[in-house]
Structure 1
Amino acid sequence: MAKRNLNDLLAFVTVARERSFTRAAGTLGVTQSALSQAVRGLEERLQIRLLTRTTRSVSPTPAGERLMQAIGHRFDEIEAELDALTELRDKPAGTVRITCGDHILRSVLLPRLAPVLRDYPEINVEFDVSYGLRDIVADRFDAGVRLGSTIDKDMIAVPIGPVLRMAVVGSPDYFARHAIPLTPDDLTAHQCINQRMPTSGGLYVWDFERRGRQVNVRVDGQLIFNTAPPQVDAALAGLGLALLPEDELMPHIEAGELVRVLEDWCPTFTGYHLYYPSRRQPSPAFSLVLKALRRG
């Protein structure tokens, strides 16, 4: 029996995962036409359509989904084993892919990983800044960063930051024009800066707790963002009240640029964790990244 060329199978798996010939071509470092030809050749040899193509999207057919389930993880296992071989080198090498938010990237990940990158020039780290709940297995990330309470139970979660509190803030100029809220219910009379949740598509509901009493408030305002930095900028500009983790706001609070309110309604909660699949053997490069990020 003639041996099959596995390149066309890898091409199919990559396109099926990326749901795009353009993105898959970029991932594999080949032209889009070469990738399309490889997948078409595989379909012709198998005499069955594996992908449904439209002008806007690509998705696996039932046969393609079955093939993905059968062989997709095999390529992951091969890649993981090739990464593991770097432990036999003088110095670890390879790429570590992490999905995270922008604030934790700037405040924790980059500062702690800088020494690793200097000491191990053949280790590369790719960051994907995203506020959505990414599926790190399906999207082929080595790890993600989320608040500990939102991580799936089948993941290994390692704390990389302290416990956190939320903070409601407004500028001195804003409070010169509006009364300071004394209870969460008072927020309904204020201009509040909303955040669109990337996963659900809904607006974030501001939640508070004091002495065992929980209060959820659907706030209103003229501004809606899907990331944190513009919310900070809008609050500094006096355009409304913002609710964000206090570590993102503390420099402005301490400088007197923002005024904190409702502090007694904001309890502590589990901080940021690096999480990764329990089933995958970490590569030497990832082990060094994990060691550098682990909170002592």
Structure 2
Amino acid sequence: MANQDFNDLLAFLAVARERSFTKAAAKLGVVQSTLSHTIKRLESQMGLRLLTRTTRSVGLTEAGERLQQSVAPRIDEIERDIAALMSLRDKPSGTIRITLSEHALKKAVWPKLVGILRTYPDIKVEFDIETAFRNIVEDGFDAGIRLGESVEKDMIAVRIGPDWRLVAIASPAYLKEHSKPKHPQDLLKHVCIKRRAAAGGHYVWEFGRSGQDLRVRVEGQVTFNDSHAMIEAAIKGFGIAYVPEDMVTRHVRSGELVIVLDDWSPTFDGYYLYYPSSRQNSAAFKVIVDALRHHDTRRKRS
């Protein structure tokens, strides 16, 4: 059926239901003369008279009655189906793929999403745990999460967590056998637990105080690319480790670990969720972004 024929049928049904050209025209948002012309065209195309018109009322002919009984239920069904489909436009559903580090997942992401994912069971989130940076466009991710200082300028960045520190920690047993470092350069005389950098090689420890920045390339017996393993090795006395402070709070409180060089521990820009400006945000994606958004407005990029 041509679009015009379908529109003519809708016009006919409006008149048939209202039994009035005036009321039907108002409901359809057209002028009465246009509606009258539409009905005449439909009758001409079908070769049947569908309506009886008097100065006071509008009635249906036998053909009109049969057409209404045949078409109205089908039109109603189509309208219900379309309404159901349109509701999906705003219904949060679908899969969101995010690349991020394990620390970002545990500290800035997962605690905020537990309740949201239970509220929206049709939203599925796929986490890709990587220490290396990924090209989210080429690798098919919806978004990535990394420290604010590392987000490319052409990306939309949404802050999802507060600033945080890396701290140097060691066990009391280790510090009993080795003098406590007072300056980052003292680490060169210590056994340290090294971290494998995402791009290869070893992470160079970064320190700062009073505008002075230092980078120290430490040495040690063991190397990990996982903070949990580094913390466990530090507890067992294998040396000084350099890890996110929020991961060792309970160990420091219990006395298992001691923070050293505390006044040299720098604060890093917090985690940001980032995605390309060209991305068409779905309802599901907006739910995830809003749930993760950090609401401390003192330092917001978006």
Q: Point out the more displaced range, 89-98 or 178-187.
A: 89-98
Alignment partners' CA distance in 1, 2:86 and 2:255:
50
Which residues of 2 match residues 38-117 of structure 1 at below 5 A?
Answer: 88-89=88-89, 91-117=91-117
Structure 1 residue runs of 5 or longer lacking an equivalent are 1-84
State the match for 2:287 in structure 1: 288
Q: 213-222 or 248-257, which moves further after superposition?
A: 248-257
Q: Distance in 1 between matches of 2:162 and 2:235?
A: 25
In 2, Cα distance between the equivalents of 1:195 and 1:232? 11
Structure 1 stretch 261-270 or stretch 103-112: which is displaced more?
Answer: 103-112
Aligned to 1:250: 249
Q: Within the alignment, does 1:182 sit opposite 2:182 as a pair?
A: yes
Change in Cα spacing, 1:172 to 1:87, as seen in structure 2 (3 Å) is farther
Q: In terms of Rg, which structure is larger?
A: 2
Residue 167 of structure 2 is aligned to residue 167 of structure 1: yes
Decide whether the 8 Å contact of 2:91 with 2:283 is kept in 1.
Answer: no
Give the partner amino acid of 2:282: S
1:240 equivalent in structure 2: 239
Corresponding residue number in structure 1 for 2:267: 268
Provide, for residues 209-240 of structure 1, a one-character-per-residue CA deviation record: whole Å limited to 9, x for no partner: 11122211110000111222111111111111
Distance apart, 1:104 and its partner CA: 2.2
| 1:254 to partner: Cα distance | 1.8
* Distance of 1:173 and 1:109 partners within structure 2: 35
Report what 1:137 is aligned to.
Answer: 137
Q: Is the 8 A contact 1:209 1:215 kept in 2?
A: yes
Q: Where in structure 2 are there 5+ consecutive unaligned residues?
A: 1-84, 296-302
Deviation at 1:269, TM superposition (A): 2.2
Distance between the aligned counterparts of 2:100 and 2:288, measured in 1?
14
CA separation of 1:86 and 1:113: change in aligned 2, threshold 3 A: farther
Question: 1:197 matched to which residue of 2?
Answer: 197
Q: In structure 2, give the amino acid aligned to 1:229.
A: H
Name the residue aligned to 1:124.
124
* TM-superposed deviation, 1:194: 0.8
Aligned to 1:12: none
C-alpha deviations, 1:33-81, integer Å up to 9, x for none? xxxxxxxxxxxxxxxxxxxxxxxxxxxxxxxxxxxxxxxxxxxxxxxxx
> Which AA in structure 2 matches 1:93?
S
What's the secondary structure of 1:115's corresponding residue? helix
SS in 2 for 1:191: coil
Aligned to 2:219: 220
Deviation for aligned residue 1:89: 5.0
Query: 2:179 and 2:146 mapped to 1: Cα distance?
Result: 35
Quick one: distance in 2 between partners of 1:243 and 1:272?
Answer: 18
Residue deviations 1:185-226 (CA, integer Å, cap 9, x gap)? 100111101111122x11111111111222111100001112
CA distance in 1 between counterparts of 2:213 and 2:112 reads: 36
CA distance, structure 2, for counterparts of residue 86 and residue 130 of structure 1: 37
Evaluate the alpha carbon distance shift between residue 87 and residue 247 of structure 1 in structure 2; reply closer, same or farther with a 3 A threshold: farther
Distance 2:249 2:141 in 1: 31
Q: Distance in 2 between matches of 1:283 and 1:212?
A: 43
In structure 2, how many angstroms separate the alpha carbons of the residues matched to 1:86 and 1:250?
Answer: 49
Give the 3-state SS of the residue equivalent to 1:281 in structure 2: coil
CA distance in 2, matches of 1:251, 1:87: 47
Question: What is residue 69 of structure 2 aligned with on the other side?
Answer: none
What SS is found at the alignment partner of 1:137? coil
SS of 1:97's partner is strand
Q: Number of paired residues?
A: 211
Q: Distance in 1 between matches of 2:86 and 2:195?
A: 43
1:125-149 deviation line (CA, Å, top 9, x unaligned)? 0001100011111111111110110
1-side partners of 2:86 and 2:117: how far apart? 16
Taking the aligned partners of 1:108 and 1:164, their CA distance within structure 2 comes to 11
Q: Distance in 1 between matches of 2:87 and 2:221?
A: 54
Residue identity over aligned pairs, in percent, reads 51
Does the 8 Å CA contact 1:87/1:284 hold for their aligned counterparts? no
Partner of 1:230: 229
Whether the 8 Å CA contact 2:136–2:143 is kept in 1: the answer is yes
Task: Name the SS of the counterpart of 1:286 in structure 2.
Answer: helix
1:88–1:102 distance in 2 versus 1, CA, 3 Å: same
Give the structure 2 partner of residue 153 of structure 1. 153
Tell which deviates more after alignment, 86-95 or 109-118: 86-95
CA deviations 1:78-131 (Å, max 9, x no partner) are xxxxxxx88635732100011111122123312211122111111100001100
Shift in Å at residue 279 of structure 1? Answer: 1.3
Letter in 2 for 1:122: D
1:280 aligned counterpart, secondary structure: coil
Q: Secondary structure at 1:274's aligned position in 2? A: strand
